[in-house]
Chains A and B, each alone.
Chain A
């Protein structure tokens, strides 16, 4: 390999957040001029944190950063930009009501006296777009653009500010395949013009197609730096998902009963026409934990939302405990004995300023047990709060304290208390142990197994392979909105095997996938 200049080097980066989470545990990272460098790792591996540190949005707890060989402290995004580092966020940072040109020049406007030189701005933006073959009109309004075009504007914005190193945070997550192809061509053109690109992604086929080298991180540690030609997708997958410890989860063999959830030919798409869930069919039965494995953003969240009434589905059918739910609201679905442990507990799982007791009662306060004629039975709910805190080991002085004064694990236990205490037949658990300490994780997993042993159905959505494999009786793998694999016996597969399906390297045959419907 020819000698290229190292434009960016990070040594021993450690980052501890103020809530005690250690996101980076001594990461080394090095990028050469003019390469497309992939940064890959699972969700929560620490990729985003590392990039935020490069862009000056976060400060490392320890470690050094060298830009063009010089040791630098990147204290702010402004400084990062002046050093020639540009970032394209996954969630676009554009002003929707302004035009493309206005967004691109925002803050660095070409001036004529006190006024903005619009002509010059338009010309400059147009020239730049032409140069890199990005087809966007400088006069178009952002709100009228497609997602792919908005991304081009983001890239132009970074380039306009003089970026030489461009960081793209999971740029293809929001794009259609055609837009992705277009993006790749633009990025290759940028590369041939001498720009350096850091491409964050866990989509292996894309990484393989586009990038020159790859850095892999796993659980906050570097797993090495490789030339793309020296590694296969399989190697990358192993490095990303392989685990040192497997927590042992003990459970009895399942006693399978009647079906509780019946999903048939389900399609879900978003407002912009992006397909989230594509023709999915499966069956969940009593006494079964069905795991849905998959890299995040492959339709699992949308599936969970539709199953619980939070999102409308486009076609197909969902039957819950024998009832088709297309006309049901959330309350109706809950009344069918369906519980939902939501993906993000702080935004959907709790009312932060209310007490633990109130949070565990939000779905059942109108039940006769707790209120009569709309008047709350104070004694009953107090006692209930105490019971919940005790049964679910919510560590607190008393259940009347605000729930946001608890740690993540204890908040999650309170969520679990609410959802499991309503005597559900079906539990939809979306990332039930995310961001939760080991003790709470074990507790939550045991509770889910106990529900299953009591003939309840559990749909477990998790991007934690260890969890999916350890808890589930059978497993569905989702990739790109589709079911790509079904394993009737979760005990018979390895993480590495599962990883291949999750990352879209392999896909089972139609008939194997159809097994998920158990002939119904």
Chain B
């Protein structure tokens, strides 16, 4: 490995450690400041997730939907677009899967597959809207996708309430999914379902797509410098649109997998927000699909820990949102450790040029 890559890696790792340490420090401060039984809260948060096989399973379960949305975010951001549609695509995916799961009788296996494909198609369709609006009329995809997320959320809930509702239930719930549609549990004693396998396969596939295919290379060129892409003869808008459609399909499929793997009815009254957390996971994974499972597991661990803490002590689970926020800030902060990094680069450059002392350091 050459020295520049090594320096980047060292700095990235150091940043990650700082981010985690600061977050932990922050949790400590909050717990100490608000809890009457801080030791209990600490234990629940940090150690709690590892205290039973079932809880470890919970971490993996929590990671599963995040992997889908993080992959979607990586594709969209990788093409230099800032569509936030992963959130909406995920939720419309749950709707699509729910419709197939409740109303289209099919044999086991095929039923889940069709449900997931419909979920993906609906996610792709939703993601296409901001992409097309930008292509045709230069409407900012940030704004349209954010607005669209609300439309999607309320539309989905409307569909459940008016067309698929279980009338005998007092709270909002859809009619039960047909058994043939459910994703099988793959590890007994947990709820870890086949969706996680799908997610890991997709991580590998997306890595392959980005770094081993011509489409991926074009996508990375467009994301890095659209002007250069255009000059090279690459169809820039086509790549931008395609990246968002694929991302929408991934997130939508994630929605489907989450629904069919974890539930037997659609019960959400608002979106669980996995699209947003997906951004944090993508950032944590340095936009590398191969690191997505790790980052998602870490985020899952935080969520599970926060839930256990909320159950066992007097600290509420919202703490985890603070941690996520702080971590995103610290990882995204370009200037953090910049001086240190610059100094290492300058020193490396000096060492290579045989130390002439003429390296300009700005």
Contacts and interface: CB of A to CB of B under 8 A. Distances in A.
Interface of A: 18-20, 308, 310, 329-331, 333-334, 340, 342, 347-354, 358, 361-363, 365-366, 371, 374-376, 378, 397-398, 401-402, 405
B228 A351 contact: yes
Interface of B: 2, 4-5, 212-215, 217-218, 220-221, 224-225, 227-235, 358, 360-362
A402 to B, nearest CB: 7
B274 to A, nearest CB: 29
Given A350-B228, A354-B221, A358-B221, A18 B362 contact: yes
Contacts of B212: 375-376, 378
Contact of B221 (A308, A334, A351): A351
A351 B231 contact: no
A329 B224 CA distance: 21
* Most chain B C-beta atoms within 10 Å of own C-beta, residue among A308, A342, A374, A378: A374
Given A350-B225, A351-B225, A401-B4, A358 B217 contact: yes
Contacts of A405: 4
Given A365-B218, A376-B217, A397-B2, A310 B225 contact: no
B228 A348 contact: yes
A365 B5 CA distance: 24
| The 4 residue pairs across chains A and B that have the minimum distance between CB atoms | A331-B233, A18-B362, A362-B232, A351-B224
Nearest to A330: B233
A348 B231 contact: yes
Contact of A20 (B217, B230, B360): B360
Contact of B220 (A308, A329, A330, A354): A354
A361 B233 CA distance: 12
Contacts of A333: 233
Nearest to A376: B212
10 contacts: A19-B360, A308-B231, A310-B230, A331-B234, A340-B231, A348-B228, A354-B221, A358-B217, A376-B212, A401-B4
A330 B230 contact: yes
Nearest to B211: A376
A374 B2 contact: no
Contact of A349 (B5, B217, B228, B362): B228
Contacts of A397: 2
A371 B231 contact: no
A330 B360 CA distance: 39
Nearest to A344: B227
Contacts of A401: 2, 4-5
B210 to A, nearest CB: 11
A397 to B, nearest CB: 5
At the interface, is chain B mostly helix, strand, loop or mixed?
helix
B224 A353 contact: yes
Contact of A352 (B224, B229, B361): B224
Nearest to B220: A354
Contacts of A402: 4
A365 B214 contact: yes
A358 B5 CA distance: 16
A334 B234 CA distance: 11
Contacts of A330: 230-233
Contacts of A398: 2
Contacts of A362: 217, 221, 228-229, 232, 234
B225 A352 contact: yes
Given A348-B228, A352-B225, 9 more contacts: A20-B358, A308-B231, A330-B231, A331-B235, A351-B220, A358-B217, A362-B229, A362-B232, A376-B213
Contacts of A353: 224
A352 B217 CA distance: 14
A333 to B, nearest CB: 8
A331 B229 CA distance: 11
A351 B214 contact: no
Contacts of B358: 20
B2 to A, nearest CB: 5
Nearest to B5: A401
B213 A375 contact: yes
A126 B7 CA distance: 58
Most A CB atoms within 10 A — which of B217, B220, B224, B234?
A: B217
Contacts of B361: 18
Contacts of A340: 231
A18 B360 contact: yes
Nearest to A381: B217
Contacts of A374: 213-215
Contacts of B2: 397-398, 401
A390 to B, nearest CB: 17
Nearest to A305: B231
Residue with the highest number of chain A CB atoms closer than 10 Å, among B213, B221, B229:
B221
Contacts of A329: 233
Contacts of A20: 358, 360
A333 B229 CA distance: 15
Contacts of A371: 213-214
A245 to B, nearest CB: 24
A366 B229 contact: no
B215 A347 contact: no
Contacts of A342: 231
A20 B353 CA distance: 15
B334 to A, nearest CB: 13
Contacts of B5: 401
A376 B214 contact: yes
Give the one of B218, B227, B231, B361 with max A CB within 10 A.
Answer: B231
A44 to B, nearest CB: 20
A156 B215 CA distance: 51
